[in-house]
Structure 1
Amino acid sequence: MILHALNGYYHRMLDDPDTEMPAYGTSIENISYALVLGEDGSLQAIEDLRVGEGNPSRPRKLPVPAAVTRTSGVKANFLWDKAAYVFGADGDGATEKNRERFAAFNDFLQVIGKEIDDAGFAAVEKFLSRWECTQSEEIVGRFQPWEEVCNANLVFRLDGIPGYIHDRPAVQREWLKFGQQDSAAPVGQCLISGEENVPLAGVHTPIKGVRGGQTSGGYIVSFNASAFVSYKQDKASVAETSAFAYTTALNALLAADSRQKISIGDTTYVFWAKRPMPLEPFLADVFAPSEAVGKESAEQDDRKTAKDIHGLLKAVRDGKKPTDFMPDLDTDVQFYILGLAPNAARLSIRFWQETSFGDLLDKIGKYYQELNIVRQYDSEPEFPPLWRLLVQTATLGKAENISPVLAGGLTRAMLTGCPYPQNLLPVVLDRIRAEHDVTYFRAALLKAYLLRNTKTEEVPVAFDPERKDSPYLLGRLFAVLEKAQEEAIPGANATVKDRYLGAVAATPQLVLPMLLKNSANHIAKLRKDSERRGRAIYLDRMIQDINCELDNYPKTQTPEQQGLFMIGYYHQRKNFFTKNIQEG
């Protein structure tokens, strides 16, 4: 099913003239330089194809004859390759191994091009026939710095003629003919397309771009032991054309500039729709909004997309239908999400979901309903991206300290509607105890967990003075005690929050009597100041009102009760700094 969906995406993109999806027999590779040749094979110039300003610049993505898979040994590409193959030399010089690579490049050219009648191809043949590997550094250095060229991928161009030699019609015809005449591949039925008697791929193209994976790429379809063989087949029955399609599509989704991928923990997620839709990169803005979102963008379309996504999220969070906000939105289109993680030379399938876009929006809407809580500061995001939430669970607030298990579980809960990971609550409480801080993001996570994973029927979005739950009232009480200390002793080095937040949440009966005694001293100090006497009366009355609703202080509280305690504390603290506007 995964391969079939990726194959469909490839053909969808191939039919779109505005995309750069390569056709069969080609691949998109990183190319840094073009060797400009005269018709006599002389090297006229070395053209720098790299893009980007400043240093370092990056290679240009170009379609070239499909790259070979180098698992071992020497294998050359056709009309493009690394300097070691094209020049027979690299940073180590013209070693014996590099000379072998140069010979393989030349031989492969002759095998395919023996019937090519083309001036550009002939120029490459002449260039190779007269090239001296030992003089590579000297000759190349006349045009470009050898240390930059010696490790780069190169293509060829005929002087005065636009385009590259590998794109010339006569060359392309022979390259495709060569691929079709490859009789070494076994024949069978393709499990993706269903076609019969088609050449089956022996080795599939490596998948690159998965965080933590090998730079050479990994595989989601591969075999290396007889234990994996079934039905007397030692390879998956995937046609060469289908293998090219699904690997090309997946590599395009995983490209560095793709807005259809995101990395959470040790897993990289890609997502796509069965049919074209303007909100296809929608999930990227849920996981990690682009820099253009919320800022003035250079393109009007970018501003409109950002506004549409924010409005759509608000609509689904508030329980409205997506089509109420965007009438033309196709909610029935199939949507696919694939999660990949590195596993040596292979890739593990961590997550796979096939659903309608409308169902996905419903799941995300419920997720944001549960997270919805009053923001501590107006500058904080109304729809917190997943990575911001996960960072709040990590030691020192560093992304590298995020638990992969927690990241995967929270992502799965968001996308499928399943319960949140059981370790989410203790992890958030541990970070609050360690840092003495109930942030907006942590309060949101606590609220979401209590609503979905426990029998808590309702957790308020903002301060609720009518709520009578003991944990919520205890949280409010602690916030008032902290406020009394802040006003009585401004600028104190350590507040009651810094010393007792975790302890009072876990064991109220042990800690609160001592804190109330100290609070009486704080309020007495405020009463002595005529300008702050009103504040003393206000805070003292709040403490008494909350205590009147409490039968007793429990000896201990469960983690779930501690979570509600932290929300009560957060709400009361926010209420202290919220201006009350009374209508006259």
Structure 2
Amino acid sequence: MILTALNDYYQRLAAQQQVPQPGFSAENISFALVFSAAGEPLQIDDLRIQDDKGKFRPRPLYVPVDKRRTSGIHAYVGWDKTAYALGVTAGDGKRLADEHEAFKQRQRNLFADSDDPELRAFLALLEAWQPPRFHTLPGYHEELLDKNLVFRLDGQQHFVHEHPPMRTLWNETFTVQDSDSGPCLVTGEHAPLGLDHPAIRNVNGAQSSGASLISFNAGAYESYGHKGQANASISKQAIFGYSTALNHLLRRDNDNHQRLTIGDATVVFWAQAADTTQAEAAEMFFKALNEPPTDAQEAARLGSALAQVANGTALAETDLGLAGDTQFFVLGLAPNAARLSVRFWCVNTLEQLTRHFARHRQDLALDPLPWKGALPPIWRLLYAVAPSRDGRAKAEDIPSHLAGEIARAIFTGQRYPQSLLSNLVMRFRNDGDISGIRIALCKAVLTRNARLAAGQQSPIEEMPVSLDPHSTHPGYLLGRLFAELENAQARAIPNTNATIADRYYGAASATPASVFPLLLRNVKNHLAKLRKGNEKDQAIAGAISRSIREIVDGLDERLPKSLKIEDQGRFAIGYYHQTQARFNKKKPSENTETPEDQGDAQ
């Protein structure tokens, strides 16, 4: 399915001339060697492009490629790195002479019988070439060593590999190469089968030279007497199609809007629509869902559209101007030594994909929102799962498996990984960072689990977005109670070095019966101290005392000995809601409550 979708995408790209034809590949080329009609080397042209940061980067050119070069010696036609093409290198050069001879022989085999003047001059250049001359040519500098180069006849605008007679000879050679024929698993057609799958490049964390999406490097992966890539019955055309399309999607160009990074996964996506404009609009919309706009007006527009979709409005009826029946593909890849692993693969209509994001947004909802804009970026959710060290998290601490599972849950509307809740609860207990983004994730897991367990298609208010004084759930009530006990301590001892949250949060959320009796005894001392203070302190003591009494009245007489992981999540949410409700109370001048009722306002 993945290869078929990529091959189909290649056909659309090829029709728009955005990707090379079979037998060619986009390679990074740094310079061109200019030669005369007599085969005399004249100068070096630097082809590199200067980026926004002032750095020079190779220029991508479509050059002839027939197979992937691994550990053996294999020369390309009309281009190569300096060791092959010119016999010069910055390394030890143990195979230098053999590599250079292989390059010359490859060109002789293809062009020896041609009477084209440009190709004859190219062969003359190679036959008379002396490697020491490279250092004497105008334009030479050491940065060119071991870089890829092409060739150009003086006075011509095109390179040798772009010369029509050369391309004709190459295409004839490429298409008549010996190969067994058979049914292609990708296209279903009977065609020449390929044995070499090109390297997939630019996947974060993978080898810089590229990694394999399909490979058979051990006998355990082979069957029915086939060896190596013969175990995958895929035609040459399909191999070229899927690999070219995937490398196109993975390119690191500034204008590539079809690539994302989610944890250690490199994510690519593309759309299939009635026309190119609709497809590009769908892709930009998906990019915005994963990397929400910072502009307030655009963020409000996106949030409004998601709210409409969540309430049942068709995507086409929003002001985004998108076609809901657009087919959408999302592929997540992660490094695995010299190979790649597929983290997730999602195929859906843009309508359904948007509904999944809208539900994800509702599942996360808190009041007030702990982020700006329509949605929190996925990367921010992932950082919330990592350990917080002095209030900061590091990318390398993000659990790799969670990145793919969270993304899959968002894209498909399935359950969030249960390990996400366990991880969050562990983080609450270990680093004490009970932040809004973590609570939103905790709430999302519990809300979605309840909705899917009930078989409902629309979100239910299983977990409130703000303080719910009517909730009778023990975990939620205990979290609220713990927040009030902490508040009493903070009011009575303003500058304490260690709060009860620092000392007892883990035990209180996991084994309430062993901790809360002690805390409830201690709070009497805190409240007594406040009642001996001024009028404001007395009002605060009264407000906290009433709040604690109301919460305790909702609990059973016997506190639970332990809370399961879901209830520990509810404990954290109750704690957060109670704390936020205290912080977000209106100022006294903005309400009609008595001073005693306002006593715990911040």
Same fold (TM over 0.5): yes
Tell me how far 1:503 sits from its aligned partner.
Answer: 1.6
Which residue pairs with 1:165 in the alignment?
Answer: 160
Cα RMSD of the aligned pairs, angstroms, is 3.0
One of 311, 325, 335 as aligned partner of 1:342: 335
Q: Which is worse superposed, 38-47 or 554-563?
A: 38-47
Q: How does 1:239-278 map to 2 (within 5 A)?
A: 239-257=235-253, 258-275=256-273, 276=276, 277=279, 278=281
Which residue pairs with 1:29 in the alignment?
Answer: 27
Which residue pairs with 2:170 in the alignment?
Answer: 175
Tell me how far 1:521 sits from its aligned partner.
Answer: 3.3
Which residue pairs with 1:12 in the alignment?
Answer: 12
CA deviation profile, 1:170-209 (whole Å, cap 9, x unmatched): 3222222221232x2223343333443x332221212222
Contact between 1:68 and 1:76, CA under 8 Å: does it hold in 2?
no
| In 1, Cα distance between equivalents of 2:406 and 2:476 | 25
| In 1, Cα distance between equivalents of 2:267 and 2:488 | 48
- TM-score, normalisation: structure 2: 0.85
| In 1, Cα distance between equivalents of 2:133 and 2:333 | 45
Which ranges of structure 2 fall in alignment gaps of 5 or more residues?
455-459, 593-602
| In 2, Cα distance between equivalents of 1:537 and 1:59 | 72
Tell me how far 1:568 sits from its aligned partner.
Answer: 0.8
Which residue pairs with 1:238 in the alignment?
Answer: 234
SS at match of 1:89: coil
Question: Which amino acid in structure 1 is aligned with residue 567 of structure 2?
Answer: Q
Q: Which is worse superposed, 59-68 or 261-270?
A: 261-270
SS at match of 2:95: helix
Which residue pairs with 2:50 in the alignment?
Answer: 51
Tell me how far 1:475 sits from its aligned partner.
Answer: 1.3
Tell me how far 1:537 sits from its aligned partner.
Answer: 2.8
| In 1, Cα distance between equivalents of 2:310 and 2:66 | 46
Q: Does 1:151 align with 2:151?
A: no
Q: Does 1:549 align with 2:541?
A: no
One of 534, 554, 569 as aligned partner of 1:563: 569
| In 2, Cα distance between equivalents of 1:24 and 1:365 | 41
| In 2, Cα distance between equivalents of 1:312 and 1:156 | 53
Which residue pairs with 2:499 in the alignment?
Answer: 495
| In 1, Cα distance between equivalents of 2:8 and 2:484 | 60
**Matched residues, percent identical?**
39
Tell me how far 1:531 sits from its aligned partner.
Answer: 4.5
One of 275, 278, 283 as aligned partner of 1:280: 283
Question: Which amino acid in structure 1 is aligned with residue 441 of structure 2?
Answer: L
Tell me how far 1:434 sits from its aligned partner.
Answer: 0.8
Tell me how far 1:390 sits from its aligned partner.
Answer: 2.2
Q: How does 1:209-224 map to 2 (within 5 A)?
A: 209-224=202-217
| In 2, Cα distance between equivalents of 1:270 and 1:551 | 52
Contact between 2:332 and 2:404, CA under 8 Å: does it hold in 1?
no
Contact between 2:84 and 2:103, CA under 8 Å: does it hold in 1?
yes
Question: Which amino acid in structure 2 is aligned with residue 551 of structure 1?
Answer: D
| In 2, Cα distance between equivalents of 1:319 and 1:443 | 27
Closer/same/farther in 2, CA of residues 583 and 247 from structure 1, 3 Å limit: same
One of 392, 398, 414 as aligned partner of 2:394: 398
Which residue pairs with 2:433 in the alignment?
Answer: 437
Closer/same/farther in 2, CA of residues 144 and 498 from structure 1, 3 Å limit: farther
Q: Does 1:83 align with 2:90?
A: no
CA deviation profile, 1:65-118 (whole Å, cap 9, x unmatched): 22631133211111111111122011126x351121111112212222235555
Tell me how far 1:512 sits from its aligned partner.
Answer: 2.3
SS at match of 1:36: strand
| In 1, Cα distance between equivalents of 2:564 and 2:381 | 23
Closer/same/farther in 2, CA of residues 370 and 54 from structure 1, 3 Å limit: closer
Q: Does 1:106 align with 2:104?
A: yes
Which residue pairs with 1:389 in the alignment?
Answer: 381
Which residue pairs with 1:299 in the alignment?
Answer: none
Question: Which amino acid in structure 1 is aligned with residue 13 of structure 2?
Answer: M
Closer/same/farther in 2, CA of residues 328 and 393 from structure 1, 3 Å limit: closer
Closer/same/farther in 2, CA of residues 324 and 523 from structure 1, 3 Å limit: farther
One of 481, 486, 490 as aligned partner of 1:482: 486
Contact between 1:319 and 1:365, CA under 8 Å: does it hold in 2?
no
Question: Which amino acid in structure 2 is aligned with residue 89 of structure 1?
Answer: V
| In 2, Cα distance between equivalents of 1:31 and 1:23 | 18
| In 2, Cα distance between equivalents of 1:53 and 1:43 | 31
Contact between 2:48 and 2:56, CA under 8 Å: does it hold in 1?
no
Tell me how far 1:43 sits from its aligned partner.
Answer: 2.4
Contact between 1:8 and 1:274, CA under 8 Å: does it hold in 2?
no
| In 2, Cα distance between equivalents of 1:122 and 1:358 | 58
| In 1, Cα distance between equivalents of 2:485 and 2:165 | 84
Tell me how far 1:481 sits from its aligned partner.
Answer: 2.1
Which residue pairs with 2:457 in the alignment?
Answer: none
CA deviation profile, 1:149-173 (whole Å, cap 9, x unmatched): 1121112234454343322323222
Which ranges of structure 1 fall in alignment gaps of 5 or more residues?
297-302
Question: Which amino acid in structure 1 is aligned with residue 520 of structure 2?
Answer: L
- TM-score, normalisation: structure 1: 0.87
SS at match of 1:392: helix
Question: Which amino acid in structure 2 is aligned with residue 537 of structure 1?
Answer: G
| In 2, Cα distance between equivalents of 1:360 and 1:54 | 36
Q: Does 1:187 align with 2:176?
A: no
| In 2, Cα distance between equivalents of 1:61 and 1:307 | 39
| In 1, Cα distance between equivalents of 2:372 and 2:504 | 27
| In 1, Cα distance between equivalents of 2:304 and 2:21 | 38
Contact between 1:318 and 1:365, CA under 8 Å: does it hold in 2?
no
Tell me how far 1:372 sits from its aligned partner.
Answer: 1.6
| In 2, Cα distance between equivalents of 1:164 and 1:529 | 88
Contact between 1:477 and 1:543, CA under 8 Å: does it hold in 2?
yes
| In 1, Cα distance between equivalents of 2:242 and 2:449 | 38
Closer/same/farther in 2, CA of residues 559 and 96 from structure 1, 3 Å limit: closer
SS at match of 1:106: helix
Tell me how far 1:367 sits from its aligned partner.
Answer: 2.4
Contact between 1:376 and 1:439, CA under 8 Å: does it hold in 2?
no
Contact between 1:285 and 1:385, CA under 8 Å: does it hold in 2?
no
Contact between 2:50 and 2:57, CA under 8 Å: does it hold in 1?
yes
Q: Does 1:468 align with 2:468?
A: no
Which residue pairs with 1:315 in the alignment?
Answer: 308
Contact between 2:271 and 2:282, CA under 8 Å: does it hold in 1?
no
| In 1, Cα distance between equivalents of 2:10 and 2:65 | 16
Q: Does 1:422 align with 2:426?
A: no
SS at match of 1:279: helix
| In 1, Cα distance between equivalents of 2:145 and 2:48 | 15
Closer/same/farther in 2, CA of residues 574 and 57 from structure 1, 3 Å limit: farther
Q: Which is worse superposed, 550-559 or 440-449?
A: 550-559
Tell me how far 1:428 sits from its aligned partner.
Answer: 0.8
Closer/same/farther in 2, CA of residues 376 and 222 from structure 1, 3 Å limit: closer
CA deviation profile, 1:208-259 (whole Å, cap 9, x unmatched): 2233333332333334566623497934332222221111001112222443
Which residue pairs with 1:300 in the alignment?
Answer: none
CA deviation profile, 1:24-55 (whole Å, cap 9, x unmatched): 22111111222233444322233141331456
Tell me how far 1:419 sits from its aligned partner.
Answer: 2.5
Question: Which amino acid in structure 2 is aligned with residue 529 of structure 1?
Answer: N
Q: How does 1:318-337 map to 2 (within 5 A)?
A: 318-326=311-319, 328-337=321-330
| In 2, Cα distance between equivalents of 1:210 and 1:75 | 25
Q: Which is worse superposed, 573-582 or 554-563?
A: 573-582
| In 1, Cα distance between equivalents of 2:21 and 2:300 | 35
Q: Which is worse superposed, 504-513 or 565-574?
A: 504-513
Contact between 1:375 and 1:382, CA under 8 Å: does it hold in 2?
no
Tell me how far 1:120 sits from its aligned partner.
Answer: 4.5
Q: Which is worse superposed, 449-458 or 268-277?
A: 449-458
Question: Which amino acid in structure 2 is aligned with residue 45 of structure 1?
Answer: I
